[in-house]
Structure 1
Amino acid sequence: MSFIKNVKRVAVIGGGPCGVATVKALLKEKSFDKVVAFERRQNTGGLWNYYNETYDDQKLDVPSVDPHTNLQTPFKVSKDNYVWPSAIYELLDTNVPYKIMEYHDFHFPKDSPIFPLKSSVLEYIQAYSKEVEDKVQFNTNVVDVSLTPESKYSITYRNVVDSTEGGVKESQESQHSDKVEEFDAVLIAAGHYDQPFVPDRPGLKEYSEKYPGSVSHAKSYKHPRQFKNVQGNILIIGNSASGSDLAYQLATGLHRPIYKSARSKSQLPAGSSEFIKTVGDVESVDPETKDVKLVDGTVIPNVERILYATGYLRHFPFLRSFNESETPFITNGSRVERLYRQCLSYDHPTLSFIALPRYILPTRISEAQASWLAKVYSGKIPLPSKETMIKEEEKLIKEKGTGAAFHNLFYPEDVFYSLAFNKEIETVPGWEDALVPCRWTEEELLYRANATPMKEAFIEYKEKTGKLATTLEELEEGVGYKPDPIDRSEFPHLKNLN
């Protein structure tokens, strides 16, 4: 066990929901001389900042399997004003109840729908962010993070303005030239909804080239109206949250058959429609006939549009020097490698990642991780030996493999994960005077355990009444839904937390 010492200047990359929670945790630790966050957008909120760009506006490589290319660029909307593409779409509401999306002791309005709309989530996050906005450098794109000979971090960043083409290229104007600062520690809260993953299939590239715009990704989806003039069949590939939701929106919005290719059963909530035709995995695409052949031999004829909802590649272009080293964070883009607790680099312990796992509640996880890291970097919580940290990662690889599932934390794993951080945080004298992460009450666990059937009941209630339910009582009266009780034996900590 060893303590990290002499961390005084700390940088946070990202000013979204997880970035601002990280800034708060660092500031409330009262141990650092400088804490600054770099955010390429013009305000807080991260990907919840919705802008109605369409699929025609975004470049997409088909296939898209290389995490080391940098495809995403911002849209110019006015002079020196740029919008970075977001995975948010127009009719989005959340797929988890707001009660378990909340930061510690900071609540949504009481009359909020159980599953709030995207605009409400943005307002909530930006309200939470107000007290740390002065620590965020907005319209600032980080282009490089490198290790110095003194084991500091050299961060190169530039303004998101016209002369940098939105932060993409170095400016020749002195007032907007690249700037470089050194920091003792870096916490990356940049999210992982940036680089679309479009897996290859025989004939797909030729199909995309022959019919430009025929292949798109969920990141460019905004509304069913984008597909209103499509005459042939529409195929969605992917069966997780976005694939299921987009299939439901297109089926109910266009009132026509929508094919959805699913390799496995989804563990996330979705609406149902007789127009959704769930089929198996895709084997190949015929660019001459537009036929799509499935692995079971079935052929879907005349597929005019293919919409991929296959997730994203892990992609941090500013870590180029690390990824080109003998110990890279990113190899094939399926996961971030060489991390302790999916969070802290055991090769470079003063470099960490916030909210990398999938299927988590980012606000809760970010508070737990950031509070723990703030205490690690202020020398209050020791780290185990590098060998121990490596063995823990190897154990996780044996359990989950080296693919994208490595980062999966389904309930109740996500709860146990955050509670493990809490347990160490609470060993530090005076821990309650700093940022206190969420602690999981029995009511919150009830909402977490029942999030999927609760959302399905919410959708059913909306279809039946035209209203958005704000209480469980409404769901029970309207559609007969009652959540299943949790198994208290799984959570012996409850008696200490209620």
Structure 2
Amino acid sequence: MGSSSSSSPDAEAPFPFHVKKIAIIGAGPSGLAVAKYLLAQDGAFPRIDVFEQQAEVGGVWNYSPVARPAESLPVPQTDAHPERMDPPVYAEGEGKGGKVPLFPSPMYEDLHTNIPHTLMQYSDLAFPDGCEIFPSREDVQTYLVRYARDVRHLIKFSTQVTDVAVRTDEFRARGREQWDVSTTDLLTGKETKETYDAVVVASGHYSTPYIPDSIEGITAFHAAHPGVISHSKVYRNAEPFRGKKVVVVGTGASGLDIAAQIQRVCKTPLILSAQSAAPPETLEHIGNVVQVGQIKRFLIEERGVEFFPLDESDGDDDEDNSGAEKGKIEEREATRIEKDVDAVLFCTGYLFTFPFLPSIPLVTNGRKVHGLAKHLLHIAHPTLAFPGLPIKVIPFPLTQSQGAVLARLWSNTLPLPPLSVLEQWSREDGEGASEEKYHVFPKGGDGRYINEIYEWLEKESSEEGKRGKEPPHWDAEMLWQRGIYIEAKMQFEKTGRKAKTLEELGFKYVPEEVEGKKAEDVEGKDPHLDVAG
């Protein structure tokens, strides 16, 4: 779409957007990707401010050895509507009173990503030669600092966004609304309010832990035995669990990785609780564990836990989960009660929370962000966007795709679809899914999303829009990597975490075997590990 021939384009409003000044909340992987695409859109946005409450970029990858105090963790935790922002934990540094603010993320000390860097990386920056194919957290954080160099001048560090409100002082047509953004400088205490034409909420979804309240006796147990129940957000290393009897709840990627670390030092067997059984090969590198079902109730006097029977029917259909397992994994039992438990660590994920956006109805129970099209654009307020929400995806390139959409939409080089189309997209985004599964992508969903966005932008954007930053596109080799990375990660663990390439792990790309493969055809053998981040 070209420029207006009218001498007064604002009066005729030929375009849906008039975006010149943009606020981005968060300088993690999503915020950085969007900032790069907005900045590259041929000068369309004269003012881009990125607000980051930490003192460095990286978001969840910005590791702090100091976790938020475990005693500050509510048990249970199901509130998606906190009344205030998380306060910082202050550490020594050059700031107010000689301190710098920290907002400890769930990042733990000994973590390697479960995605090969050749798949995980942004499309315009490779990881450096020589790092492990599944990079350490330090390598990823260094990579993000390097990636941020082009937009670092836009970032206001140690600045917390405290309130975002749509302007109501006058009627504004859809797509022409403005936003009052209030911030606090955490080093000086100075409070500021400015008005923006669009807001990008890239604050992540690893802030508010989820600990279910449906388990009988959990509140009374926590009151009687404070400190026994905790969440993976406050986990940093296995040492506090040395010699203790431990239950780990959850068999997602983080749950299994943390279980493997704790198992090396705790009283064995480590007890692994989940609704469905994880396949044997998934547990090979963990060691002496016993799988049990979900927690049925907490036993206060016995400091114990009673478990439901393990549901083995929902495990991997292609695997034999009968109990004939490898290594030291104990035979699964139908029912189980464990007494004298020292620690119950919930690796049960997080809630979507937006305490700085109280005026927009976004969440109910915190399991879904309502009112979005393509898991990104707010339908009622299309100058409000939420990149990086999808789960079980390869996040860095996916948020690049979303950044490309916003850059072209808000510069009016990509037409905004009609309201009816956006609403239809929203229905299709979660077709057949419960709120808990709404942002959890199906097999191949990320590859399909990335390539559909690419095709949409190539078809609908004006030539002017295409002069901006090109969105990523996954070719057959990328889709192949998406299909084998889970098996490759298992091999990486078994061989000592030293491999530099997929070929070293026995995975060689053969074009004629995968040429023409579709995104929906890619799937690892173990759904328990099909989660990235």
TM-score (norm. length: structure 2): 0.83
Matches within 5 A, 1:248-263: 248-254=260-266, 256-263=268-275
Q: 2:391 aligns with which of 353, 358, 362?
A: 358
2:203 matches 1:190: yes
Structure 1 residue 112, shift from structure 2 partner: 1.6
CA contact under 8 A between 2:248 and 2:345: conserved in structure 1? yes
CA distance 1:119–1:131, change in 2 (3 Å): same
Structure 1 residue 431, shift from structure 2 partner: 4.7
CA contact under 8 A between 1:186 and 1:350: conserved in structure 2? yes
CA contact under 8 A between 1:80 and 1:160: conserved in structure 2? no
CA contact under 8 A between 1:291 and 1:303: conserved in structure 2? yes
CA distance 1:112–1:307, change in 2 (3 Å): same
Structure 1 residue 266, shift from structure 2 partner: 5.5
2:75 matches 1:62: yes
d(CA) in 2 for partners of 1:196, 1:104 = 31
d(CA) in 2 for partners of 1:265, 1:136 = 45
Structure 1 residue 176, shift from structure 2 partner: 3.1
Aligned-pair identity (%):
30
2:119 matches 1:100: yes
Structure 1 residue 382, shift from structure 2 partner: 1.6
d(CA) in 2 for partners of 1:446, 1:349 = 35
Q: Which amino acid in 1 is paired with 2:263?
A: A
SS in 1 for 2:264: helix
Structure 1 residue 254, shift from structure 2 partner: 3.8
d(CA) in 2 for partners of 1:32, 1:415 = 29
Q: 1:80 aligns with which of 87, 94, 99?
A: 99
Partner of 1:488: 516
CA contact under 8 A between 1:241 and 1:269: conserved in structure 2? no
CA contact under 8 A between 1:360 and 1:410: conserved in structure 2? no
CA contact under 8 A between 2:371 and 2:378: conserved in structure 1? yes
Q: 2:501 aligns with which of 461, 467, 471?
A: 471
CA contact under 8 A between 1:269 and 1:452: conserved in structure 2? no
Matches within 5 A, 1:221-240: 221-230=235-244, 233-240=245-252
Partner of 1:460: 494
CA contact under 8 A between 2:246 and 2:266: conserved in structure 1? no
Structure 1 residue 3, shift from structure 2 partner: 4.8
Matches within 5 A, 1:28-177: 28-29=40-41, 30-54=43-67, 56-57=69-70, 59-69=72-82, 70=84, 72-78=86-92, 79-149=98-168, 150=170, 151-161=177-187, 176-177=189-190
Structure 1 residue 221, shift from structure 2 partner: 0.4
Matches within 5 A, 1:340-379: 340-379=373-412
2:455 matches 1:423: yes
Q: Which amino acid in 2 is paired with 1:471?
A: T
CA contact under 8 A between 2:208 and 2:350: conserved in structure 1? yes
- Tell which deviates more after alignment, 136-145 or 243-252: 243-252
Partner of 1:302: 340
d(CA) in 1 for partners of 2:160, 2:145 = 20
Question: What is the number of residues matched between the two proteins?
Answer: 463
Structure 2, gaps ≥5 residues long: 2-13, 93-97, 171-176, 310-334, 521-533
Structure 1 residue 133, shift from structure 2 partner: 0.5
SS in 2 for 1:383: coil
CA distance 1:370–1:266, change in 2 (3 Å): farther
d(CA) in 2 for partners of 1:433, 1:265 = 50
CA distance 1:236–1:287, change in 2 (3 Å): same
- Deviation digits for residues 387-430 of structure 1, max 9, x if unmatched? 222232223333222x2211011441111111121112223215
- Deviation digits for residues 233-255 of structure 1, max 9, x if unmatched? 21111111111111111113447
Partner of 1:171: none
d(CA) in 2 for partners of 1:185, 1:57 = 37
Q: Which amino acid in 1 is paired with 2:418?
A: S
SS in 1 for 2:268: coil
CA contact under 8 A between 2:248 and 2:273: conserved in structure 1? yes
2:30 matches 1:18: yes
d(CA) in 2 for partners of 1:198, 1:31 = 44
d(CA) in 1 for partners of 2:429, 2:395 = 20
d(CA) in 2 for partners of 1:97, 1:241 = 14
Structure 1 residue 229, shift from structure 2 partner: 4.9
2:485 matches 1:451: yes
Structure 1 residue 80, shift from structure 2 partner: 3.3
Structure 1 residue 56, shift from structure 2 partner: 3.9
- Tell which deviates more after alignment, 309-318 or 288-297: 288-297
Structure 1 residue 299, shift from structure 2 partner: 1.2
Matches within 5 A, 1:238-249: 238-249=250-261
d(CA) in 1 for partners of 2:504, 2:21 = 50
CA distance 1:31–1:260, change in 2 (3 Å): same
CA distance 1:435–1:38, change in 2 (3 Å): same
d(CA) in 1 for partners of 2:127, 2:81 = 38
SS in 2 for 1:110: coil
CA contact under 8 A between 1:58 and 1:220: conserved in structure 2? no
Structure 1 residue 270, shift from structure 2 partner: 6.3
CA contact under 8 A between 1:60 and 1:71: conserved in structure 2? no
d(CA) in 2 for partners of 1:436, 1:270 = 41
Structure 1 residue 257, shift from structure 2 partner: 1.6
Structure 1 residue 57, shift from structure 2 partner: 5.0
SS in 2 for 1:459: helix
CA distance 1:122–1:24, change in 2 (3 Å): same
Structure 1 residue 55, shift from structure 2 partner: 6.4
d(CA) in 2 for partners of 1:388, 1:135 = 34
Q: Give the helix-richer structure, 1 or 2.
A: 1
Q: 1:321 aligns with which of 351, 354, 359?
A: 359
CA contact under 8 A between 1:449 and 1:486: conserved in structure 2? no
CA contact under 8 A between 2:201 and 2:385: conserved in structure 1? yes
CA contact under 8 A between 1:19 and 1:189: conserved in structure 2? yes
SS in 2 for 1:398: coil
2:372 matches 1:339: yes
SS in 1 for 2:300: coil
